Chain A
Amino acid sequence: MSAAGTPAPEAAPDLEVRAVTKRFAAHTAVNAVSFSVPRGSFFSILGPSGCGKTTLLRMIAGFIQPDEGTIAIGGRDMAHVPPNRRPVNMVFQHLALFPMMSVGENVAFGLARRGVGRAERQKRAAAKRTDELSGGQRQRVAIARSMVLEPTLLLLDEPLGALDLKLREHMKVELKQLQSAFGTTFVYITHDQSEALVLSDRVGVMSQGHFEQLGTPQELYYAPATAFVAGFVGANNRLSGTVRALEGALVEIDAGQGWQVRVRAHAPLAVGAAAQAFVRPEAITLARTPAELPPGHGAHSGEVTDMLFDGANSAVLLREAHSRRELRIALPQTGAFADLRPGSRICFGFDPERGIGFAAT
């Protein structure tokens, strides 16, 4: 961009955030967050609303200054560099298309600010007002408006939030293809875990101003580092109780009224300590009789309370017989249990290795 600077060494990541902290009065919005995003990768910051992800993004864009820590983009420190001189462009949450301009003028806005000639800009002009565009088209214009400036880093602030499900699925694929076609580094913030999992190379899960876990979507899903990540990323059954016994890497947890479940312990747990076990709906196997369940998977039983039909994501809700806890279990695609009705009794079990236990906080 127009700001002068020494060329970045080839190895420098496009974005390097080091120990960044931001406080608003007594509230710490972002607390000592560090991460780096290598060139050409797709990084997502996933977290519930109010976790500080928007504050973090606005610091990267330059709209607010961090209280502590440094942000380097393309190897260059960004302290005191205003947003209009950063090699970063942002796609805003509500897109912030300029309603007083046509699509072409919107896309050409940044080029015009750089003094690119009118004829050159008009090569792309489309004489349509932005308020005449439909949902997906508005997203495309907002992204094009930023991408045309060839930024080092593109920031996206939940740009798909306003779209209906079908269009959102479509735009997800389009974003992913766009990113791999241009090789621009994307930093994407969202509260939608499915967007983060589908799109990203790496995801930072954020809660209350800090990163709970940083990893690939697979790591977050199969090896969550904290109870928060286990509960936030993907569907999960949370069973809280106390530790009854330890068996090597496994831990037996009393999940209420003497109902025992065995899961892999994430970190060593003490007998008698409060703990939370997480078991994914698709990790649980249904069976008509306990004998049909694989050995070592436990033989639990419960009563069906509801059938949730959702095509490939269909599930059954049931209450465990002893603890009356509600569990969600994925229905097999074979249709074997399609005849279940509320009130039916059914057996279920799961491989302890596919469940995970955390100390309760």
Chain B
Amino acid sequence: MSEGAAGGKWSGRLVLALLLAPALLWLLALIILPHADLAVLSFRERVAPRQYAPSLAQYRTFFGEPLYWHVFVRTALMSAIATLMTLLIAFPIAWIIAKLARGRMSALLFVVCLIPFWVSETVRTLGWMILLRESGVLPAILVHLGLTAQPVELLYHDATILVGLVYTSLLFMVVPLVGSLESLDNSLIEAAYDLGARGLSILRTIVIPHAAPGITAGCIVVFMLTLGNYLTPTLLGGKNSLWFTEQIYTQFITRFNWEQGAAFGFLLLALSTAMVWLGLKLSGQRFSDVMRRV
């Protein structure tokens, strides 16, 4: 009998292992192995052709060269601003979808948010360029309306980068927000109203505490996507974009300095981890609750 039970236990484990195998393989091949290799790369220095020695030189370069850590801080700040702007814009949209629109209208609004993602990110960003470049649509309209004397260049500003980033991130904020707002019982809002609360205090005391896991989840996803975005800052910001992913690209592709690029990659990973941790601490949320909302 014990043999049978042991056999059953083993076959159960085998099935479980087989089911998990693709995911584990994916994790190992695409996440863990490259990162392990990058870690090794980042902690060595070329002392002579094909001669490497362990060293912290790459990280020393990062802190020693103001351009690098300026870009690093700038990327973090811009990403935080973009995340906040996305939250402020997505919240009313999510509120309308979750609480005001009914049935088909709510589904339709969701599709409207989704439509931009049927087009590739490159095409979407090029669309922005067509609208905003000096000879583009928007500057022409401004001239036509007499607001500007001659066409102004709307590309290659920080604001342009932010517009592009917010636009790209909107859906990833709306989805978790709609989920968390839909689960809010309307009678709680009515009860607060009945007990004398006004719009803003209902938002502060009832809606935001209830939606906190969704807000945190949306912010984490959007922040990570923005921080690691390459295409949007490069295309919309041009040479002025100074985005950290560009520095990584330059080290790997232009300079063939894989050691430096690997160190930058690790610094970016550390930054997003630190920001997620900070976000969870500040909002008092637990990682497991938040991830259920994504």
Given contacts A109-B205, A113-B201, contact A98 B188 (CB under 8 A): yes
- A62, B92: Cα distance in complex, Å: 25
Q: Mark B179-212, 1 if CB is under 8 A from A, else 0.
A: 0000001011011111111100100011001100
B187 touches A100 (CB 8 A): no
Residue among B190, B195, B197, B201 making CB contact with A145, cutoff 8 Å: B195
- A96, B205: Cα distance in complex, Å: 14
- A101, B198: Cα distance in complex, Å: 18
B197 touches A92 (CB 8 A): no
- A84, B192: Cα distance in complex, Å: 8
A109 touches B185 (CB 8 A): no
B197 touches A100 (CB 8 A): no
A83 touches B205 (CB 8 A): no
Task: Tell me if A193 is interfacial: C-beta within 8 Å of chain B.
Answer: no
- A85, B188: Cα distance in complex, Å: 17
- A149, B196: Cα distance in complex, Å: 9
Interface centre among B192, B195, B196, B206 (most CB of A within 10 A): B195
B190 touches A89 (CB 8 A): no
A90 touches B201 (CB 8 A): no
Given contacts A90-B191, A109-B205, contact A96 B196 (CB under 8 A): no
- A110, B206: Cα distance in complex, Å: 13
Given contacts A96-B187, A98-B188, contact A83 B194 (CB under 8 A): yes
Q: Which residues does chain A contribute within 8 Å of B185, judged by CB atoms?
A: 94, 96
Q: Which residues does chain B contribute within 8 Å of A110, judged by CB atoms?
A: 195-196
Q: Which residues does chain A contribute within 8 Å of B210, judged by CB atoms?
A: 99-100
- B198's closest neighbor in chain A, by CB? A84
- B199's closest neighbor in chain A, by CB? A84
Q: Mark A79-103, 1 if CB is under 8 A from B, else 0.
A: 0001111001110111010111100
Q: Which residues does chain A contribute within 8 Å of B194, judged by CB atoms?
A: 61-63, 83-84, 88-90, 146
CB of A203, distance to nearest CB on chain B (Å): 24
A84 touches B187 (CB 8 A): no
The number of A-B residue pairs with CB atoms under 8 Å apart is: 63
- A114, B210: Cα distance in complex, Å: 22
Given contacts A98-B206, A100-B206, A100-B209, contact A63 B190 (CB under 8 A): yes
Query: Interface size on A (CB < 8 Å)?
Result: 27
- A110, B194: Cα distance in complex, Å: 9
- B190's closest neighbor in chain A, by CB? A63
Residue among B191, B193, B196 making CB contact with A114, cutoff 8 Å: B196
Q: Which residues does chain B contribute within 8 Å of A1, judged by CB atoms?
A: 196
- A99, B205: Cα distance in complex, Å: 11
Q: Which residues does chain B contribute within 8 Å of A98, judged by CB atoms?
A: 188, 191-192, 205-206
A89 touches B195 (CB 8 A): yes
- B207's closest neighbor in chain A, by CB? A100
- B191's closest neighbor in chain A, by CB? A96
- In B207-251, the 8 Å CB interface with A consists of 209-210
Q: Which residues does chain A contribute within 8 Å of B195, judged by CB atoms?
A: 84, 89, 109-110, 113, 145-146, 149
A92 touches B190 (CB 8 A): yes
A113 touches B197 (CB 8 A): yes
Q: Which residues does chain B contribute within 8 Å of A109, judged by CB atoms?
A: 192, 195, 197, 205
A92 touches B192 (CB 8 A): no
- A2, B198: Cα distance in complex, Å: 13
- A85's closest neighbor in chain B, by CB? B196
Residue among A2, A96, A99, A113 making CB contact with B190, cutoff 8 Å: A96
Q: Which residues does chain A contribute within 8 Å of B205, judged by CB atoms?
A: 98, 101, 109
Q: Which residues does chain A contribute within 8 Å of B192, judged by CB atoms?
A: 98, 109
- B186's closest neighbor in chain A, by CB? A96
B187 touches A94 (CB 8 A): yes
Q: Which residues does chain B contribute within 8 Å of A94, judged by CB atoms?
A: 185, 187
Q: Mark A43-65, 1 if CB is under 8 A from B, else 0.
A: 00000000000000000011100
Q: Mark A120-159, 1 if CB is under 8 A from B, else 0.
A: 0000000000000000000000000110010000000000
B191 touches A92 (CB 8 A): yes
- A146, B196: Cα distance in complex, Å: 10
B196 touches A84 (CB 8 A): yes
- B187's closest neighbor in chain A, by CB? A96
- A148's closest neighbor in chain B, by CB? B195
Q: Which residues does chain A contribute within 8 Å of B197, judged by CB atoms?
A: 84, 109, 113
- A62, B163: Cα distance in complex, Å: 42
- B185's closest neighbor in chain A, by CB? A96
Q: Which residues does chain A contribute within 8 Å of B188, judged by CB atoms?
A: 96, 98
CB of B212, distance to nearest CB on chain A (Å): 8
Q: Which residues does chain B contribute within 8 Å of A2, judged by CB atoms?
A: 196
- A114, B187: Cα distance in complex, Å: 21
Q: List 28 A-B contacts (CB under 8 A).
A: A1-B196, A83-B193, A84-B195, A84-B197, A85-B196, A88-B194, A90-B190, A90-B191, A92-B191, A93-B187, A96-B187, A96-B188, A96-B190, A96-B191, A98-B188, A98-B192, A98-B206, A99-B210, A100-B206, A100-B209, A100-B210, A109-B195, A109-B197, A109-B205, A110-B196, A113-B196, A114-B196, A145-B195
**Which A-B residue pairs are the 7 nearest by beta carbons?**
A96-B191, A110-B195, A100-B209, A96-B187, A113-B196, A90-B194, A113-B197
- Residues of A bordering B, CB below 8 Å: 1-2, 61-63, 82-85, 88-90, 92-94, 96, 98-101, 109-110, 113-114, 145-146, 149
Known pairs A84-B194, A85-B196, A113-B201. 8 more at Cβ < 8 A? A63-B193, A90-B190, A92-B191, A98-B191, A101-B205, A101-B209, A109-B195, A146-B194
